[in-house]
Structure 1
Amino acid sequence: MSRIGKKIILLPKNINVNIKKSHISITGPKGKAEYTLSKLITLKQKENTIQLEATNNSKETQALYGLSRTIINNMIIGVSKGFNKQLDIQGVGYRSQIQDNKLILNVGYSHQIIIEPPQGISISVENNTKIHISGLDKEIVGQTAAKIRAVRPPEPYKGKGIRYNNENVRRKVGKAGK
């Protein structure tokens, strides 16, 4: 069985959990999140904890056991604290801005790149070179950050491009002259 699935999920005081059969809805100060579990996994709530139990030992159940626990735990963190990602833009003339709730990137192309954030995701820009992405759903926050980074990933010679805040870009040595 999954070691992750066996762990008990602790509920903070400001979180409300509603469990109906295989459906769980979690409400907190940042918003509301819902998830429908597989019929192979059951939930039990005791006071301020949630425990997942697998109905059998099949491979499919084992695969869903730890996954379901992690998704529910991320939902609890999302509605209580939220998730954040930060991207940095490096390069001469590279910049970003927010206009009409859309992210506009000028990163060396002949045209601007316009990215509209998905529902529930907020994007803010600081100093034209730092992009902050925040939201309730860890998966959507990470996917949005990856989509923005994919517009101009950092190149290995000068390091220009869009990178995660603490990302280490391995640099290559340029062509040697005579």
Structure 2
Amino acid sequence: MSSVFVTTKPIEIPKSVEVQLTEFGVFIKGPLGSLFQAIDAHNAKIVVSSDQLTIEALNATKQTKSIVGTLKALISNMIKGVTAGFEKKLLIIGVGYKAQAAGNILNLNLGFSHPVAYTVPEGIKVETPSTTEILIKGIDKQKVGQVAAEVRSYRRPEPYKGKGIRYFDEKVTIKETKKK
């Protein structure tokens, strides 16, 4: 086996987070919940000390370095997720457009002839502080982003009036209509 190449910086593990290594991956448990990430044992090795986690590349190929970097980002996001969590905020713009969360169902009125009922997946919490705001919260960053993208896809912001569902920090450029 060749020499071991270490990532640039170790990941700090907070006191409230517990990290367990298995032969298939890493299991991270914190105050908000627990997450699992599978690891390719041929390319990367994880070393856990008392308060740090280090990911080592087992060879120096470009693909292995990219896998190790991606794995480091995923584990960092998992640690942040089980301690603080992630959230996305969506805004609904349009006359008569509104949202209402009821349990694990998000009811959307978006100008269609029928209301849209979106079933929220397990592990994600959806709140509606007002009828034009949607807050999506969870510990898995990928899942939170996926739910936000699916809700947004029901009525994307259109370029002429700006009506639709948009992210809180999204800027929609309004096009000018054709002149005669």
Q: Assess same fold via TM > 0.5.
A: yes
Give the total of aligned pairs.
174
Q: Does the CA-based 8 Å contact 1:6-1:52 persist in structure 2?
A: no
SS class of match (2:120): coil
Residue correspondence of structure 1 range 3-18 to structure 2 within 5 A: 5-18=7-20
Q: Does the CA-based 8 Å contact 2:104-2:121 persist in structure 1?
A: no
> Given the alignment of the two structures, is residue 71 of structure 1 paired with residue 61 of structure 2, yes or no?
no
> Given the alignment of the two structures, is residue 43 of structure 1 paired with residue 50 of structure 2, yes or no?
no
CA offsets 1:11-64 (integer angstroms, 9 cap, x no match): 111111112345211111100111121011001112201000011123431221
Aligned-pair distance for 1:119?
Answer: 1.1
> Given the alignment of the two structures, is residue 128 of structure 1 paired with residue 131 of structure 2, yes or no?
yes
Q: Does the CA-based 8 Å contact 1:44-1:51 persist in structure 2?
A: yes
| Structure 2, unpaired ranges of 5+ | 1-5
> Given the alignment of the two structures, is residue 104 of structure 1 paired with residue 101 of structure 2, yes or no?
no
Aligned to 1:24: 26
The one-letter code matched in structure 2 to 1:122 is K
Q: TM-score, normalised by structure 1?
A: 0.93
**Further displaced range: 75-84 or 51-60:** 51-60
Q: TM-score, normalised by structure 2?
A: 0.92
Q: Does the CA-based 8 Å contact 1:15-1:27 persist in structure 2?
A: yes
Aligned to 2:153: 150
Q: Does the CA-based 8 Å contact 1:41-1:55 persist in structure 2?
A: yes
Q: Which runs of 4+ in 1 moved over 3 A?
A: none
SS class of match (1:63): helix
| Structure 1, unpaired ranges of 5+ | none
Change (3 A) 1:91 1:5: farther
- C-alpha distance in 2 between matches for 1:169 and 1:77: 30
SS class of match (1:76): helix
- C-alpha distance in 2 between matches for 1:5 and 1:87: 36
Aligned to 2:90: 87
Change (3 A) 1:6 1:21: farther
CA offsets 1:90-138 (integer angstroms, 9 cap, x no match): 0000001123420011001111111111110011112111000000110
The one-letter code matched in structure 2 to 1:167 is E
